[in-house]
């Protein structure tokens, strides 16, 4: 067989497990948007089998054969084949050591766990979730042992979501963020109590109006509804089946319409990334975002950097008022902007403001790090959670449903995922810094020219899908990988601006080492 | 390996392709309830690959190995294993001869065809559907050649949906039905024009009220919403993922609420069948209805025999009026009953009355039979369709969207399926005949004791899933297989009763050969 035949067969092979992967995606989507509860066990069986099929194909002797056969051709291969090989090789050597049977058991556990978690959260009953959570963590710990690790065991999981990320790098990152955020938050807390003037955000907005707002936002930022859709689920998320079918969800709270407002912008960021990959990689294993960190940089860019800017509120104000009608006619664009940027310690991560968000991630990061560094008692976790919330945010949940039970992530085994949110925020600030050199970002937003921003992101990031590694992408775009300083500067500037009008806060610019720039 | 190990491995193997089958089910469900249009091609790729995977597994050497290894144990195996072997053997020897690559191409074609059909129907443009329909038929004809056939080539396809069914049997069946229905219809047409008094069925009923009606009906007949759901799609259907997840759809027409009313009852019939299989076969390849004919007997039982009876209208009337409110307060239960049983030639199969329904099926049966008996020109089909409609029903569609484009079936390659509807009607009448010996059916309906009916059906039919063949089931239950006479008698009695009050129609009982009875 000649090399091009081998490449063709290799690609066809990746297509086969990718189809199974997409089927699993669809089961996951289906369960989140309302599959019958009574079918949970049955679907767990199917999902378990299909996960094992995908897994077996990715760690099969046939895969090893392709890797070995194509290895010698290295640099002479086209970039698509090279990237596919990189991804397959990485997966093969990471997971080869996990027995298929254990992976199957584990995969069968997850959909059940999700149902248990949902019920536990509803009923504020951590004890009912604890046993299955314990099993998930023990499987993951066993898998890390099988897979091996360098430095901290948790590094193996971090690397799954952000290749190259380590506890060592994140400890530095979070320490720096804490240094900046905690004093900033204290100064804000001591300011004029603007949050008291933002009670209008809790006015009733019926779900049908919120749906119209979601429609306005999707249209504004350019989420293509011919190749996507919006549905409702308990926890907002994005699910992509390749660039031509990208689905997002939101959750409407009648007395907190900004919750869905920002969820939609957040998921649109993920979705626009997925929808704008180059056609040559459509429906292949490269037709998906490069890493969770880069993914979150895009969602945070749309949610926070665009969506929480004063320019955005100036632009969106009229369209929004047409939908909200008289109920909000006493509220100005500036007031919406300020309300969207109230910084205040709170309990729920997905409702947290941009400033305190990072601290919520720290709580989870530190717990996960600890879970994977030695033995643990799952029953102690709520106590640990609450103590850390008190320490970093100064607030403590009265109920676990507003504490350790709030996130879906652990029920689906996504340990190592949470830090991506903070990494994404930091990347977003780094990307903004570079984008500003090319285009007048604030003006584009103020004038509703989101197409220009999207085209820049497509050119620099979106089109590549998984062709590049995150470090290649960030290095080429920004001249460096993760650097806390841009995010620190962004937060300081932003919250100084928000809180400055009242004259209370005047913050110094943080020190940025100019040699980090590209 | 000992026999019980081989059986275990065989069952695990069937579980694997069943999981892929369920994934394909889910893609199909997802596309019908509103997947993004732009993703059609991408999903076609995934569906094509997964169909090929399922197909390969069902005709693999490994499957042949199981069949050969277990063959010698024949009658000594438990009934579940035996039924699984029967199904796998049947499939293996039927499809082994179709090349995997052609099956893959064909499977990729179908989701595209469905999208093309939907658009063609909307735009009344048969020409845009013709090329892809032509390709589907030519694939199916080629497959029949590969598979072989006895007698008429179409027999192979009939057998897919109703094992043992042939053109020879159906010609007899349809000829008899024509003999009974055509004169009955003529006498009704010459009657007092009751249909003129049923204009209330076109009064506006907003979709939210129709949803409430659907809820009432599902609750009434016992469709378990913990293990099922109702959504909307262009064409109502039932989709099951095993007994614990059974989904139905309907389509609401604001000015024809009885359309959804009877769709829901029809799909509930399918769904109740699926939900009431025995637990020991849950989530296996036996966890599905035995044949399309038996399936349709259940849907028609709920839709027509129960739902279009005077007893049902007496029972449901009060609950329905609570939802419909004052808009229908001038309409009595008897008037609803009569309106639900207006017999009148019409264009659309799924809106057709119980009496003329069979003629709609005849039109499709004869066209399909002809398509598979020699060459054909797809462009001539609308003309053939219209001519047959004129001949049997005396009406002719002005537009193909109300003619040959009305059904989804050909776009998904389901040739041989349509006759099942008529077979199902006939089976339903045969089953009613037997049921009446055990329980007072009309009284149960009048008193809302649908549980007793459902329990009888579960005991005699539902619980077996695919454990028995349709002929075994019908022989054991009724002492005979397909027999047109019960259905002929049922229709004659029913429509005599409906049209009798006005004194116009007095119909003789048809001749039934008593020795057909068990």
Express each pLDDT in A8-31 by its tens digit: 999 999 999 999 999 999 999 999
Query: Looking at residues B257-266, what average pLDDT do you find?
Result: 96
**Residue B507 predicted with pLDDT over 80:** no
Residue with the larger pLDDT of the pair A388 and A505: A388
Determine the pLDDT at residue B252. 97
- Mean pLDDT (chain A) is 92
d(CA B17, CA A58): 18
Q: Cβ distance B478 to B436 under 8 Å?
A: no
Domain with CATH 1.10.1370.30 in chain A: 167-372+415-511
* A414 three-class SS: coil
Query: Looking at residues A469-474, what average pLDDT do you find?
Result: 95
| E strand or H helix that includes residue B279 | none
A246-250, strands of its sheet edge to edge: A228-232, A246-250, A238-240
Nearest CA in chain B to A247: B36
Alpha helices in A276-329 (DSSP H): 292-300, 310-324
Q: Sort out which chain A residues have CB atoms less than 8 A from B29's CB and list them.
A: 30
For the stretch A55-73, pLDDT in tens is 999 999 999 999 999 999 9
Chain A residues contacting B via beta carbons under 8 Å: 15-16, 18-20, 22-24, 26-27, 29-30, 34-39, 41-43, 45-46, 49-50, 53, 224-229, 241-247, 282-283
3-state secondary structure B76-95: HCCHHHHHHHHHHHHHHHHH
Q: Is the dihedral of CA B72, B77, B83, B88 positive or negative?
A: negative
Domain with CATH 1.10.1370.30 in chain B: 196-343+421-516
* DSSP of A386-399: HHHHHHHHS---SS
d(CA B22, CA A284): 22
d(CA B453, CA B425): 17
B242 with A34: Cβ contact below 8 A = no
d(CA A57, CA B50): 14
Residue with the larger pLDDT of the pair A102 and B104: A102
Cβ-proximal residues to A432 (8 Å cutoff; 6+ apart), any chain: A301, A305, A441, A486, A490
| E strand or H helix that includes residue B374 | none
Which residue, B10, B86, B93, B20, is CA-closest to B59? B93
Domain with CATH 1.20.58 in chain B: 3-150
Query: Looking at residues A374-379, what average pLDDT do you find?
Result: 91
d(CA B219, CA A204): 33
Q: Which two tokens stand for residue A106?
A: 């584990």
Q: Which two tokens stand for residue B96?
A: 């082994």
Backbone angles phi, psi at A383, to 5 degrees: -65, -45
For the stretch A325-347, pLDDT in tens is 899 999 999 999 999 998 889 99
d(CA B320, CA B201): 13
> B305 to chain A, minimum CA–CA distance in Å?
29
Determine the pLDDT at residue A515. 29
| E strand or H helix that includes residue A228 | strand A228-232
- Mean pLDDT (chain B) is 92
* DSSP of B140-187: HHHHHHHH--SSSTHHHHHHHHSTT--HHHHHHHHHHHHHHHHHHHHH
Q: Sort out which chain B residues have CB atoms less than 8 A from A25's CB and list them.
A: none
> A24 to chain B, minimum CA–CA distance in Å?
8
| DSSP character at residue B223 | -
Determine the pLDDT at residue B375. 86
> Binning pLDDT at 50, 70 and 90, where does residue B179 land?
very high
Determine the pLDDT at residue B107. 81
Q: Cβ distance A293 to A262 under 8 Å?
A: no
**Residue A195 predicted with pLDDT over 60:** no
d(CA B265, CA B10): 38
Which residue, A364, A378, A411, is CA-closest to A110? A411
Given B108, B118, B267, B314, which residue is catalytic?
B267
Lowest mean pLDDT among A181-185, A201-205, B125-129, B196-200: B196-200
d(CA B55, CA A257): 49
Residue A267 a catalytic site member: yes
Nearest CA in chain B to A230: B36
> Binning pLDDT at 50, 70 and 90, where does residue A194 land?
low
For the stretch B330-351, pLDDT in tens is 999 999 999 999 888 999 998 8
Q: Which two tokens stand for residue B215?
A: 């809820």
Nearest CA in chain B to A227: B38
d(CA B63, CA A345): 61
* pTM for the structure as a whole: 0.88
Q: Is the dihedral of CA A50, A51, A54, A56 positive or negative?
A: negative
Query: Looking at residues A477-502, what average pLDDT do you find?
Result: 87
Query: Looking at residues B5-28, what average pLDDT do you find?
Result: 97
Q: Sort out which chain B residues have CB atoms less than 8 A from A23's CB and list them.
A: 20, 23-24, 26-27, 46, 50
A245 with B35: Cβ contact below 8 A = yes
Which residue, A126, A142, A121, A112, is CA-closest to A380? A126
Determine the pLDDT at residue B500. 62
Interface test with A, best of B29, B112, B231, B245 (most A CBs within 10 A): B245
Residue burial B186-206, b: 16+ Cβ < 10 Å; e: rest:
ebbeebeebbeebeebeeebe
For the stretch A115-132, pLDDT in tens is 899 999 999 999 999 999
Q: What is the CATH number of domain B3-150?
A: 1.20.58
Do strands B246-250 and B228-232 pair parallel, antiparallel, or not at all (unpaired)? parallel
Query: Looking at residues B22-39, what average pLDDT do you find?
Result: 95
Query: Looking at residues B474-491, what average pLDDT do you find?
Result: 95
A36 with B242: Cβ contact below 8 A = no
> Tokens 């978690």 — which residue?
A117
Helices (H) and strands (E) in chain B, counts: 20, 3
Q: Does domain A167-372+415-511 have CATH number 1.10.1370.30?
A: yes
> B37 to chain A, minimum CA–CA distance in Å?
6
**Residue B447 predicted with pLDDT over 80:** yes
Nearest CA in chain B to A279: B42
Lowest mean pLDDT among A115-124, A285-294, B185-194, B497-506: B497-506
Q: Sort out which chain B residues have CB atoms less than 8 A from A225's CB and list them.
A: 36
Cβ-proximal residues to A187 (8 Å cutoff; 6+ apart), any chain: A504, A505, A507
d(CA A390, CA A385): 9
**Residue A144 predicted with pLDDT over 70:** yes
| DSSP character at residue A406 | S
**Residue B173 predicted with pLDDT over 70:** yes
Determine the pLDDT at residue A196. 61
d(CA B31, CA B20): 17
Q: Cβ distance B221 to B272 under 8 Å?
A: yes
**Residue A232 predicted with pLDDT over 70:** yes
> A29 to chain B, minimum CA–CA distance in Å?
10
> B493 to chain A, minimum CA–CA distance in Å?
41
Query: Looking at residues A141-150, what average pLDDT do you find?
Result: 95
Determine the pLDDT at residue A508. 33
- ipTM entry: 0.87
**Domain B196-343+421-516 classification at class level:** mainly alpha
Determine the pLDDT at residue B508. 33
Which residue, B455, B29, B450, is CA-closest to B218? B450
| DSSP character at residue A158 | H
Determine the pLDDT at residue A514. 30
Given A54, A108, A114, A267, which residue is catalytic?
A267
**Residue B486 predicted with pLDDT over 80:** yes
Adjacent-strand bridge partners of A240:
A246
Cβ-proximal residues to B232 (8 Å cutoff; 6+ apart), any chain: B33, B249, B250, B251, B252
For the stretch B267-325, pLDDT in tens is 999 999 999 999 999 999 999 999 999 999 999 999 999 999 999 999 999 999 999 98
* A248 three-class SS: strand
B30 with A34: Cβ contact below 8 A = no
Determine the pLDDT at residue B516. 27
User: What are the CA-CA distances from residue A104 to residues B16, B107, B165 (Å)?
Assistant: 12, 28, 41
For the stretch B348-365, pLDDT in tens is 998 889 999 999 999 999
């Amino acid at each position: 067989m000649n090399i091009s035949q081998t490449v063709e067969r290799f690609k066809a092979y990746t297509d086969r497990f990718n189809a199974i992967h997409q089927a699993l995606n669809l089961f996951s989507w289906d369960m989140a948007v309302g599959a019958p509860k009574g079918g949970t066990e049955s679907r767990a069986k199917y999902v378990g089998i299909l996960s094992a099929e995908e897994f077996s194909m990715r760690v099969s002797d046939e895969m090893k054969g392709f890797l070995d056969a194509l290895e010698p051709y290295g640099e002479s291969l086209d970039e698509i084949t090279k990237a596919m090989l990189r991804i397959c090789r990485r997966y093969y050597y990471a997971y080869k050591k996990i027995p298929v049977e254990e992976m199957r058991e584990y995969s069968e556990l997850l959909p059940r766990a999700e149902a248990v978690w949902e019920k536990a959260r509803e009923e504020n009953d951590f004890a009912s979730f604890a046993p299955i959570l314990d099993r998930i963590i023990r499987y993951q710990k066993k898998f890390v042992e099988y897979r091996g690790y360098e430095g901290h065991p948790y590094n193996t999981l971090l690397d799954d979501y952000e290749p190259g990320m380590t506890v060592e790098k994140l400890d530095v990152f979070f320490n720096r963020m804490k240094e900046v955020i905690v004093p900033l938050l204290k100064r804000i807390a001591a300011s004029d109590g603007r949050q008291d003037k933002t009670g209008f955000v809790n006015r009733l907005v019926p779900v049908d109006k919120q749906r119209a707002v979601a429609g306005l936002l999707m249209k504004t930022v350019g989420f293509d509804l011919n190749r996507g859709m919006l549905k409702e689920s308990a926890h907002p998320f994005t699910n992509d089946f390749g660039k031509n079918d990208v689905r997002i969800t939101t959750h409407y709270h009648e007395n907190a319409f900004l919750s869905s407002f920002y969820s939609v912008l957040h998921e649109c960021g993920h979705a626009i990334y997925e929808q704008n990959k180059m056609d040559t990689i459509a429906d292949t294993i490269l037709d998906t975002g490069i890493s969770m960190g880069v993914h979150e940089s895009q969602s945070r860019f749309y949610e926070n950097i665009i969506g929480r800017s004063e320019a955005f509120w100036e632009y969106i104000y009229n369209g929004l008022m047409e939908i909200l009608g008289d109920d909000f006619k006493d509220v100005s664009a500036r007031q919406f902007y300020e309300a969207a940027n109230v910084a205040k310690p709170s309990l729920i991560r997905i409702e947290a403001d941009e400033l305190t968000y990072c601290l919520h991630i720290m709580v989870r990061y530190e717990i996960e790090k600890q879970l994977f560094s030695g033995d643990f008692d799952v029953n102690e976790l709520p106590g640990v959670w609450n103590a850390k919330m008190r320490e970093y945010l100064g607030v403590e949940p009265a109920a676990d449903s507003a504490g350790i039970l709030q996130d879906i992530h652990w029920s689906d085994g996504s340990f190592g995922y949470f830090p991506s949110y903070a990494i994404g925020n930091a990347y977003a600030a780094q990307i903004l810094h570079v984008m500003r050199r090319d285009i007048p970002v604030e003006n584009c937003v103020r004038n509703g020219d989101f197409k220009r921003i999207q085209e820049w992101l497509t050119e620099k990031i979106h089109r590549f899908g998984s062709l590049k590694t995150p470090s290649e992408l960030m290095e080429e775009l920004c001249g460096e990988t993760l650097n806390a300083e841009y995010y620190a500067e962004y937060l300081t500037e932003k919250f100084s601006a928000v809180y400055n009008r009242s004259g209370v806060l005047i913050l110094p610019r943080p020190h940025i080492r100019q040699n980090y720039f590209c």
